[in-house]
Amino acid sequence: MNLDLRGRVALVTGAARGVGARIAERFAEHGAAVYAADIDAQAALELKRIRKRSFSTDNQEFMSGVVCIAVPVQGPRNGHVCAGLAISAAEARLTLAGVKRFLSDLREAAGKLSRSLVEDSR
């Protein structure tokens, strides 16, 4: 889908997670000025931080005893994020700081995947 939303303003409610977050991301990718609103202000701020630094972490929020770091994989359509690449580990074996040591390797692998997706789409 080729949307040109430059010069448009979007107010997205429920934008901290789930469908609302995906809608806000898509509108922004297509050029809209997005105002994201959510009851969970902390989650909205965390989402903004994740987008800025281009990686996310999970310090046992999803599953007790498991830590994770993830980076985006960009697809062939204007560099939009189409997937994520992550490393998860039992915290007993590797702490959150330990999985963060793999960030540069993850970014490199995600870059290779992105380039491969672009080449395959030609």
Long-range contact list for 30-34, CB < 8 A, 24+ apart?
Answer: 30/3, 30/4, 30/5, 30/6, 31/4, 31/5, 31/6, 31/7, 32/5, 32/6, 32/8, 33/8, 33/9, 34/9, 34/10
Number of neighbouring beta carbons within 10 Å of residue 90: 10
pLDDT at 28: 86
Find out whether 99 and 87 touch, Cβ atoms under 8 Å: yes
pTM passes above 0.75: no
pLDDT tens readout for residues 89-107: 999 999 999 999 999 999 9
Rg of the chain in Å (alpha carbons): 16
| Per-residue pLDDT tens over the stretch 45-99 | 887 888 888 899 988 888 899 999 999 988 877 767 888 899 999 999 999 999 9
Contact between 30 and 50 (Cβ < 8 Å): no
**Which letter, b or e, does each residue of 56-87 get, where b requires 16 or more Cβ atoms within 10 Å of its Cβ?**
bbbeeeeeeebbbbbbbbbbbeeeebeeebbb
